[in-house]
């Protein structure tokens, strides 16, 4: 249900990245549409913003603009209104703010990275920003490997004193996540900063400019878990965390020769025949599971087939097929891909297979 709040915000969702760390998957589809718990990553973000009372959103898209626009439509299915903004090339997060100036106008807004997931959403952070209204607010979370993230240094009342991009020296452990909140002051900041050494307009540079100008920039601590789904392991972790929250819902059919343990979601038209399901897991519409084992933290997309096989902790995209292979774990199987081979006993296989691929696995 949408939450109604005062001081309305707009949102700007960035969905133009190419996902090079997820290859081969992004060769065939945008990373923002890879489904986790059988729902595209971007859809989770749209729903999180709607739950925060943000219903007017601009979506920045790049090379995959046709596919993303077709999937999202006008936004009405998510309870939001969408304006599309095209970025010719990935010139950085601050560049996205620059090209969205007409859409944003002089309104406060949330900047949300379209491949990020927040277990508790962003409603609490949005409410905090509405109440306190600093010049900017950055959602942060502690990490063990700060050299891989943008890091903030904070002082009293979580006021940010400095920002560092992937620091090589110890300067804190609070990492910048994919949810920011801005007043119109940010437009002056993004115009003022020059491209970085990698040729991008960095949002961290714009934030540092605001700090240097004496403006109030605050850190807001993420309450639950957070995932940047830019790598395969992160996709699988995000899928696992989302599945941990599912509750049993069986609208397809499970025959009497099958067994079920734990929470499972079986969509309409899905059939489970002589198989064992151990949740949490989700089975998409029209899929067939026969003479197989589907283990915890697995999402099986619509119209998939799993036959005489065993799989756990994995993601199967729409219309994928697995036959005669046991022990598949921690894998991502692309749309309409086919994996088959000789049963492999108790051994386990890790596979990342792109769309329309055929792979044979021999024990």
- What is the distance between the alpha carbons of residues 313 and 236, in angstroms, rounded to a whole number? 7
| CA atoms of 332 and 21, how far apart (whole Å) | 14
Q: Which secondary-structure segment (H or E) carries 172?
A: none
Domains of the chain (ranges plus CATH)? 10-231 (3.90.550.10), 246-361 (2.160.10.10)
Query: 66-80 burial by CB neighbour count: b if 16+ within 10 A, else e?
Result: eebbeebeebeebeb
Q: Are 238 and 229 in contact (CB under 8 A)?
A: yes
Overall pTM > 0.85: yes
Report in angstroms the alpha-carbon separations of 73 from 28, 81, 84, 112: 20, 10, 10, 19
- What pLDDT, on the 0 to 100 scale, is given for residue 2? 43
Give me the chain's average pLDDT, please: 90
Strand residue runs (E) in 23-135: 35-36, 39-40, 56-61, 81-86, 109-113, 116-118
The two tokens of residue 319 are: 């219309």
Which two structure tokens, joined as six digits, stand for 354? 């792109």
Q: How would residue 313 be classed by pLDDT, with cut points 50, 70 and 90?
A: very high
What pLDDT was estimated at residue 348? 63
Average pLDDT value for residue range 322-330: 93
Does 30 or 77 have the greater pLDDT score?
Answer: 77
User: Residue with structure tokens 């995932």?
Assistant: 227
pLDDT mean over 303-332: 95
Task: Choose the weakest-confidence range: 90-99, 257-266, 268-277, 304-313.
Answer: 90-99
* CA nearest neighbour of 249 among 219, 223, 270, 231: 270
Tokens of 302: 């619509």
**170: pLDDT strictly greater than 60:** yes
| Model confidence pLDDT, tens digit, residues 57-98 | 999 998 888 999 999 999 999 999 999 999 988 789 999 999
């Amino acid at each position: 249900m949408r939450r109604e709040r005062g001081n309305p915000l707009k949102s700007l969702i960035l969905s133009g990245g190419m996902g090079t760390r997820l290859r081969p998957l992004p060769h065939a589809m945008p990373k923002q549409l890879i489904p986790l718990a059988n729902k595209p990553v971007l859809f989770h973000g749209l729903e999180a913003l709607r739950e925060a009372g943000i219903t007017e959103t601009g979506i920045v898209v790049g090379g995959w603009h046709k596919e993303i626009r077709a999937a999202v439509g006008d936004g009405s299915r998510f309870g939001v209104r969408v304006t599309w903004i095209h970025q010719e090339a990935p010139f950085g997060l601050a560049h996205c703010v620059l090209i969205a100036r007409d859409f944003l106008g002089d309104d406060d807004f949330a900047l949300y990275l379209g491949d990020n997931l927040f277990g508790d959403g962003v409603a609490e952070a949005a409410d905090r920003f509405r109440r306190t209204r600093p010049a900017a607010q950055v959602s942060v979370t502690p990490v063990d490997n700060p050299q891989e993230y943008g890091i903030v240094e904070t002082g009293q009342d979580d006021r940010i004193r400095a920002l560092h991009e992937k620091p090589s020296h110890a300067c804190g452990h609070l990492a910048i996540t994919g949810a920011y909140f801005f007043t119109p002051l940010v437009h002056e900041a993004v115009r003022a900063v020059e491209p970085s050494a990698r040729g991008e307009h960095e949002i961290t540079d714009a934030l540092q400019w605001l700090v240097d100008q004496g403006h109030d920039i605050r850190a807001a601590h993420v309450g639950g878990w957070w995932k940047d789904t830019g790598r395969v392991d992160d996709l699988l972790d995000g899928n696992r965390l989302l599945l941990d929250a599912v509750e049993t819902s069986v609208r397809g059919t499970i025959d009497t020769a099958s067994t079920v343990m734990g929470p499972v979601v079986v969509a309409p038209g899905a059939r489970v025949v002589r198989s064992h399901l151990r949740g949490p897991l989700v089975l998409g519409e029209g899929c067939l599971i026969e003479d197989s084992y589907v283990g915890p933290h697995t999402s099986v997309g619509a119209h998939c087939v799993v036959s005489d096989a065993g799989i756990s902790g994995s993601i199967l995209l729409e219309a994928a097929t697995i036959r005669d292979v046991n022990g598949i774990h921690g894998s991502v199987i692309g749309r309409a891909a086919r994996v088959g081979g000789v049963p492999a006993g108790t051994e386990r296989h890790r596979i990342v297979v792109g769309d329309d691929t055929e792979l044979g696995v021999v024990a």
